[in-house]
Amino acid sequence: MPEMNLLEAIRQGLDEMMAADSRVFIFGEDVGKRGGVFRVTEGLYDKYGPMRVIDSPLAESVIVGACIGAAMNDMLPIAEIQFADFIAPAFNQIVQEAARIHYRSNGDWEVPLVIRVPYGGGIHGALYHSQSVEAFFAHVPGLKVVTPSTPYDAKGLLKSAIEDPNPVLFLEHKKTYRLIKGFVPEEDYRVPIGPADIKRPGEDLSVFSYGLMLHYCLEAAQTLAAEGVSVEVIDLRTLRPLDTETILASVRRTGKVLIVHEDNLFGGFGGEVAALIAEHAFEYLDGPVMRIGGPDVPAMPFAHSLEAAFMPSPASIAAAMRRLAAY
């Protein structure tokens, strides 16, 4: 099994799906000759040509809108939004159109669309190249929202997303692109959309996370293990539809909960996880349902000093784990 980083795993997934099905095409800014500003689509333009790897105009609404149309005309489009921060112009097309077309047509029309979205910070991208956007979209029925955190999951979930008959928002944490490496099988496989994954089993507390923060949680769990605390770390992987069963089952075992994401806390996705637990596993709780999220400021600043102050860290996560364990 070859080792590769998360970015390479995604590229491989795209390549294999394009080879497998001529309906798959990529549409976005700079995805062609340039291979994307992160190089995710590098080589695909040369391999599949300008009608399957298409440089779009600088206009996110029509990137998504045209992909919706193409999906309704029997294609399997993959839209790339250059940075999550620039998905806002496409909010109308994603939320009011892609998400509602199947429902509003009473099941008559489908939108098999993948929207690839590099997101997240810690890469010195400042206010407008660091944002997390999952909370906005995970709230929307009709959408699926996927947040892989390892190369294996990324490739397997990407293939599932391309095969899914529904619109899937595929969120790729930019800092994991080259930082996170892992083994990816040679043979074809899928990771299904939906199930969470217990990345580290444990007994004393349950930690729920995804994306870059998942790795920080694993690091913190390692630290706590040395201190004699057994932390279960669960990678949510799919935020909508959420794997409520796996979440509640873990909480019923450990009785203690920490939810971690990078997005700002208030109104963030963690609230939903906490609320589900507080309602459906209340009797099993041995302590407050704790959350860690980015601070409630408009976005992550550029200056190193401020960016560092913004990002939750393995240390701050470990500290919360300790408090919870001691409760």
CA 275 to chain centre: 20
User: Which of 102, 124, 129, 215 is an active site residue?
Assistant: 129
Cβ atoms 30, 1 nearer than 8 A: no
In the chain, % helix, strand, coil (3-state, to 5) comes to 40, 20, 40
How long, in residues, is the chain?
327
Closer to ligand TPP by CB, 55 or 110: give it.
55
Cβ atoms 10, 60 nearer than 8 A: no
Among 297, 315, 323, 327, binds other proteins (CB under 8 A): 297
124 part of the active site: no
Binding of residue 29 to ligand TPP (CB under 6 A): yes
Among 5, 40, 53, 77, binds other proteins (CB under 8 A): 77
Identify each DSSP E strand in the chain by its residue range: 3-5, 24-28, 53-55, 76-80, 114-119, 144-146, 168-173, 181-183, 197-200, 205-209, 231-235, 238-240, 257-264, 289-294
Cα separation, 261 vs 55, in Å, equals: 33
Classify 27 as helix, strand or coil: strand
Closer to other proteins by CB, 81 or 247: give it.
81
Question: CB under 6 A: which stretch of 81-89, 133-141, 169-177, 264-272 binds ligand TPP?
Answer: 81-89
DSSP-assigned letter for residue 40: T
What is the nearest approach in angstroms of a second copy to the Cβ of residue 192? 19
Binding of residue 319 to other proteins (CB under 8 A): no
Among 195, 271, 310, 322, binds a second copy (CB under 8 A): 271
What is the nearest approach in angstroms of a second copy to the Cβ of residue 314? 21
Residues from 72 through 101 that contact a second copy (CB under 8 A): 85, 88-89, 91-92, 95-96, 99-100
Among 66, 133, 231, 318, binds other proteins (CB under 8 A): 66
Residues 6+ apart with CB under 8 A from 254: 202, 203, 204, 205, 206, 232
Among 15, 16, 61, 86, binds ligand TPP (CB under 6 A): 86
Q: Which residues are catalytic?
A: 129
Which stretches of the chain bind ligand TPP, using CB under 6 A? 29, 58, 60, 82, 86, 89
